[in-house]
Amino acid sequence: MPDDSEEILKTRKFLKERLQTDYSTFRGHENERDNIRQLLQRTAEMGESNSMLLIGPRGSGKTTLVNAVLTDLMKNKDFIQNTLIVHLNGNLHTDDRLALKSVTVQMQLENATDGKVFGSFSENLAFLLACLKAGNKRSKSVVFILDEFDLFCAHHNQTLLYNLFDVSQSAQAPICVLGVTCRLDVIELLEKRVKSRFSHRQVFIFPNAEDFDEYVKLFAELLTIPSEKQLKELADRVGTLKHLQSSELTFHRSHFQPSKYKFSKKYMEAWNKHIAELIKTPSVVKSLQALFDFDVSQAFLKIFIFRLVCQMQTSLSIAEQITAEQITQLTAIYEMDEKVELLCGLSVLELCLIIAIKHHSEIYDRDPFNFEIIFSRFHKFAKVSSTMQGIERPVALKAFEHLRNMEIILPLTATTCKVQKEFEMHKMVLTYGQINQAVQRYQALPTEVQQWSQSSLI
C-alpha cells in the first residue's frame, strides 16, 4: 500500500531509535528495582547513609536499571532539591587523583576553594573529607555511582573506597555509595579495612533463563507501536530527565524522545495485529526458542530485532515487512558453526583425511594419531576409489600439515622434540556432528566420499 509508505518509514525510525537510545526503560526485576529506589530515597529524604553493590553479567541491564531508578526519582521534588549525583567510571578514572578531581567538579566544590590550588593528593582528599564531614543530617545528600567498581579496587591502598565507605558509616553528611560491577567475587577484592566499613548489601541481576513466554512477550513488545496515551506517558516520563543535574551522567542528553512521533490509529492497529499474528507462527516460535537457548539477555534480543527492522522497506505492505522467513534466515546466521564453514572450504583430499581421522577416533575411542596411521587408512580407501587414486604420499603429507596449521588437529607435545613429522602424535578438535554436517553441505563432493564418511568399511 503506497499510502502507508510514510507511516512505515516513521515506524522504522521509531523502532530503531527506541531500540538504540531508550536508556531508562527497564523490564522485570521489580524487587531489585525497589531495593535500589528505596536506598536512594532514604538517603535523600531521611539523611540515611548507606552503600550497596549491584552485580550481574555484562549485558544484563545493570546500568539501565540505575538509569531507570534515577528517572523514577526525577518525579520526587525532595530528591531533586536535596541530592547531588556523582558518577565515576573505573575505565575513565584510573587512579584516585583523577577520581577526586572529578568528584570535586561534580560536587561543585571548586567554587569553595577560593582560588587555592591543592598540590598533593592528600590535600585534595583532606579538603573533600572536610566538606563531607562538615555536613550533618540536614545537608544535601550525595549519591556516588561507581561504574566498573572492581577497577576501583585495584587503586593504590583503595584510599578512595575506604574514605567513601568510612563517611557512609558515620553520622556526617548523608552519602550513598552504589557500586556497579560484573564480578561476582568483588567483595574478595576489598581490603580488610574497606570490607569492614561496607554494608554488605548486594543486589544480583541475572537474565531470566526459565520463562520463555516472557521472552516472546518482550519480542512482541519491542516491535509493537504504543498507543497515543502510552506515547504521552512515556514522553512525560522522559521529560522529567531535564531535572537531572549531572555533568558526567549523559544518558538523558541523547535519550529517545517519544514526543516526536505520532501514528494514525488505523495504521497502528494494523501493524500491532501483524506483529501479534507473527509471534503465533510456529516457525517464529521455533526461531525465538533457538535464540533463547543461545542468549537470554535483552541486549542480544534488541540487536536481533534491530537487524530485522533494518530490512523494512517502504515499497512493501505491512504484511510483508517483518516476516517469518526473515526471522528464520536471521536466526540461521546465529546458529552457524564456524568450524563447519571452515571444513566446507577445505579441498576434497583434506576432507578425506578428516574422515579418516574420524573413523580412527570412532574405532579407537579418540586415541591420538599420526600421519602414518591416517595415510594408511586413507590409502585403503584411495585404492578402491575412482576419484582419489594416484594421490602421492608427499601431497597427502602437505594436506595433513595444512590441517595442523589451521588448528583442526593439534599436536600432543611441543614441536621441539626430535620426532619426524610423519610420526608426531596429534588429537582432533572437532565433533563427529561437525564433520557429518560439513560432508552434507560440501558442494560437489564425490558420492563415494560421502558414502565412506558414513561407514569405515571399504
User: pLDDT tens digits for 198-253?
Assistant: 999 999 999 887 888 999 999 999 999 998 888 898 888 888 888 887 778 888 88
24 domain-assigned: no
- What is the predicted pLDDT for the residue at 391? 87
Percent of the chain with pLDDT over 70: 93
Q: Within this chain, do residues 160 and 252 fall inside the same structural domain, yes or no?
A: no
- Give, rounded to a whole angstrom, the gap between the first and last alpha carbons of the chain: 62
Tell me if 44 sits within 8 A of 82, measured CB to CB: yes
Does 164 score more than 60 pLDDT? yes
| Closest of 122, 105, 109 to residue 156, by C-alpha | 122
Q: What are the phi and psi torsion angles at 101 (to 5°)? A: -60, -45
* 197 vs 224: CA distance, rounded Å: 47
Q: Within this chain, do residues 427 and 306 fall inside the same structural domain, yes or no?
A: no
Q: Within this chain, do residues 257 and 353 fall inside the same structural domain, yes or no?
A: no
Q: Within this chain, do residues 281 and 255 fall inside the same structural domain, yes or no?
A: yes
- What is the predicted pLDDT for the residue at 127? 75
User: Which domain-ending residue is among 185, 204, 223?
Assistant: 204
- What is the predicted pLDDT for the residue at 219? 93
**Half-sphere exposure of residue 262: CA atoms within 13 angstroms, side-chain side:** 3
User: Which domain-ending residue is among 180, 204, 228?
Assistant: 204
For 226, 263, 271, 315, 396, the CA distances from 1, given in Å and listed in that order, are 22, 16, 13, 8, 61
18 domain-assigned: no
Q: Within this chain, do residues 368 and 442 fall inside the same structural domain, yes or no?
A: yes
- Which residue has cell 542468549? 295
Does 136 score more than 80 pLDDT? no
Tell me if 224 sits within 8 A of 272, measured CB to CB: yes
Spell out the residues 6+ positions from residue 373 whose beta carbon is closer than 8 angstroms to its own: 360
147: containing domain = 29-204
Q: What mean pLDDT is predicted for residues 1-11?
A: 78
- Which residue has cell 580488610? 192
Tell me if 93 sits within 8 A of 217, measured CB to CB: no
60 domain-assigned: yes
Q: Which helix (H) or strand (E) holds 371?
A: helix 371-384
| Closest of 249, 88, 248 to residue 178, by C-alpha | 88
Which residues are paired to 428 by β-bridges? 409
Domain count, the chain: 3
Q: pLDDT, tens digit, for every residue of 395-441?
A: 999 999 999 999 999 998 765 567 788 888 999 998 888 899 899 98
Q: Within this chain, do residues 171 and 85 fall inside the same structural domain, yes or no?
A: yes
Identify the band that residue 138 occupies on the pLDDT scale cut at 50, 70 and 90: low
Q: What are the phi and psi torsion angles at 91 (to 5°)? A: -75, -30
Q: Which helix (H) or strand (E) holds 176?
A: strand 175-181
* 245 vs 84: CA distance, rounded Å: 8
307 domain-assigned: yes
Does 84 score more than 70 pLDDT? yes
Does 458 score more than 70 pLDDT? no
**Average pLDDT score over the chain:** 87
Q: pLDDT, tens digit, for every residue of 258-267?
A: 888 888 889 9
- What is the predicted pLDDT for the residue at 304? 93
Q: Within this chain, do residues 88 and 172 fall inside the same structural domain, yes or no?
A: yes
Q: Within this chain, do residues 282 and 197 fall inside the same structural domain, yes or no?
A: no
Identify the band that residue 321 occupies on the pLDDT scale cut at 50, 70 and 90: confident
358 domain-assigned: yes
Q: pLDDT, tens digit, for every residue of 26-48?
A: 888 899 999 999 999 998 888 88
Q: Within this chain, do residues 353 and 421 fall inside the same structural domain, yes or no?
A: yes
- What is the predicted pLDDT for the residue at 415? 59
CB-count exposure of residue 29 (10 Å: 0-12, 13-18, 19+): buried
- What is the predicted pLDDT for the residue at 68? 93
Q: pLDDT, tens digit, for every residue of 111-130?
A: 555 555 455 666 777 777 77
Q: Within this chain, do residues 48 and 130 fall inside the same structural domain, yes or no?
A: yes
Which CATH number is 141's domain given?
A: 3.40.50.300
Dihedral sign of CA atoms 357, 358, 361, 364 in order: negative
Which residues are paired to 83 by β-bridges? 141
Instruction: Tell me the pTM.
Output: 0.76
Identify the band that residue 394 occupies on the pLDDT scale cut at 50, 70 and 90: very high
* 445 vs 348: CA distance, rounded Å: 7
95 domain-assigned: yes
- What is the predicted pLDDT for the residue at 113? 54
Ramachandran quadrant class, 391 (left: phi over 0; alpha: psi -120 to 50; beta: rest): beta
Q: Within this chain, do residues 189 and 224 fall inside the same structural domain, yes or no?
A: no
Q: What are the phi and psi torsion angles at 191 (to 5°)? A: -65, 160
Does 150 score more than 60 pLDDT? yes
Identify the band that residue 1 occupies on the pLDDT scale cut at 50, 70 and 90: very low
**Half-sphere exposure of residue 278: CA atoms within 13 angstroms, side-chain side:** 26
Interstrand relation of 426-428 and 409-411 (parallel, antiparallel or unpaired): antiparallel
- DSSP letter, residue 427: E
Helices (H) and strands (E) in the chain, counts: 22, 7
- What is the predicted pLDDT for the residue at 2? 46
- Which residue has cell 567475587? 185
- Which residue has cell 590535600? 123
* 321 vs 308: CA distance, rounded Å: 9
Q: Within this chain, do residues 131 and 187 fall inside the same structural domain, yes or no?
A: yes
Grid cell at residue 10: 516513521
- What is the predicted pLDDT for the residue at 318? 86
User: Which domain-ending residue is among 157, 175, 204?
Assistant: 204
Which CATH number is 400's domain given?
A: 1.10.10.10
| Closest of 67, 106, 72, 86 to residue 240, by C-alpha | 72
* 395 vs 169: CA distance, rounded Å: 74
17 domain-assigned: no
CB-count exposure of residue 321 (10 Å: 0-12, 13-18, 19+): buried
Angle at 364 between CA 358 and CA 365, to 5 degrees: 80
Using DSSP, state whether 366 is helix, strand or coil: coil
287 domain-assigned: yes
